[in-house]
Amino acid sequence: MNPAYVALESGHVLEGRGRAPGTARGELVFTTAYTGYEESLTDPSYEEQVLTFSYPLIGNYGVREERFESDRVHPRAVLARELTDDVAAWLESEDVPAIDHLDTRDIVTDVREGGAMKCGIAVGKHATPDDAVAELERCQAMSDHTEIGEQVSVAEHAVHGEDNDGETVALIDCGVKGSIIDSLVARNATVHVFPHDASAADVDAVDPDVLFVSNGPGDPKNYPQAASLVETFVEDTPVAGICLGQQIVARALGGTTEKMTFGHRGVNQPVLDVESGQVVMTTQNHGYTVADPGSHLEVSQINVNDDTPEGLDGIEHDVITRQYHPEANPGPEDTLGFFDDVLAMATQSRNSPRAIPADD
């Protein structure tokens, strides 16, 4: 096997077994998910990150394309205690460096205590620790990836479920998981997927019943056009969001966001619904959170572990958002009803369509 090195912002350089060659750099994060590695690896929210699996064996049920959430692997590199040959071969085919035979318990502990950190990766026949350190020195902070939306968003307007006769959803793609679109289409919605920086005029042309802001990678402040769309449409169109989408909606309506120490990533995050008192287990993948929802939104659900907002509802307008992933791929299916709630908002009366300038 090839030499493999991980240089950490903390100053440590780790050595492991190279499973897929190459060099990479990114924000080091971990997931506690014990299943769903195919879904995690193809989740666009991991763009510009190096993903560590805390579960010790990754790949024990193979690799099946029908489980993918997008058309490629998004983490810049992958770290594990042990990767099966199937997963290692898949990552190599995607040109994503991979390292195993690492003590992932120590890595997770370092991230929990020191926070998500920059790292550099070097794997290959002639790889050296200095190569990994060189990658680390070129690594940017996540908030500095100001154009990250361009890396994960569709290039042009696309339609899903065009033969459906239910609600029309304008989905702003900031790095959407395929199962979110599938969940809406399965409920008879026609989903118009727009680039993250789409104009209000283009979105308005489909006369949406719901404006839906997707999940995605990076700092929510780096999606100003998506926030602008929320501001434009919230007056007379129901608005929904998932994960990054919740953060963008909150910022658009006067709230604030902040970076978390190490984020929530896994399929076992407990969430409390404030009104009912019910707790459900959820799938999550985010490094930022809503710090203050502002005066236009109220917190409807909270994380049991740290009290961060997991759900927001509009006070003056029809708004519903979730920080976790209700589509439940991977993970428990307790929260699929969110999509029914989103589409139910569209059955309420709406004002007349907006007159938006064509060059908006």
Q: Is 247 helix (H, G, I), strand (E, B) or coil?
A: helix
Task: Give exposure, 221-237, as e/b (b: 16+ Cβ within 10 Å).
Answer: ebbbebbbbbebbbeeb
- Is 48 an active-site residue? no
Tokens representing 248? 């963008």
Q: Mapped to the 3 state alphabet, what secondary structure does 98-152 carry?
A: EEECCCHHHHHHHHHHHCCEEEEEEECCCCCHHHHHHHHHCCCCHHHCCCHHHHH
208 upstream amide cis, omega within 30 of 0: no
Q: Directed axis angle between helix 244-252 and helix 224-233, to 10°?
A: 60
Alpha-carbon span 81 to 239, nearest angstrom: 42
- Is 139 an active-site residue? no
- Is 327 an active-site residue? yes
Residue list, annotated binding site for L-glutamine? 45, 216, 218, 244, 247, 285, 287-288
Question: How far is CA 110 from each of CA 28, 54, 113, 326, rounded to the nearest angstrom?
Answer: 10, 12, 5, 29
Catalytic one of 38, 135, 310, 327: 327
Question: How far is CA 162 from each of CA 29, 165, 206, 244, 297, rounded to the nearest angstrom?
Answer: 38, 8, 12, 26, 32
Catalytic one of 74, 264, 286, 325: 325
Write out the H or E segment, with its range, that includes residue 26: strand 22-31
Q: Directed axis angle between helix 178-185 and helix 337-345, to 10°?
A: 60
Residues 346, 352, 358, 360, CA torsion sign? negative
Alpha-carbon span 184 to 208, nearest angstrom: 14
Sequence-ordered list of residues with C-beta below 8 angstroms from that of 340, at least 6 positions apart, any chain: 187
Helices (H), 300-353: 337-345
Catalytic one of 243, 264, 286, 296: 243
The burial class, CB within 10 Å (0-12 / 13-18 / 19+), for 105 is exposed
Return the residue matching tokens 């991977």: 330
Active site residues: 243, 325, 327
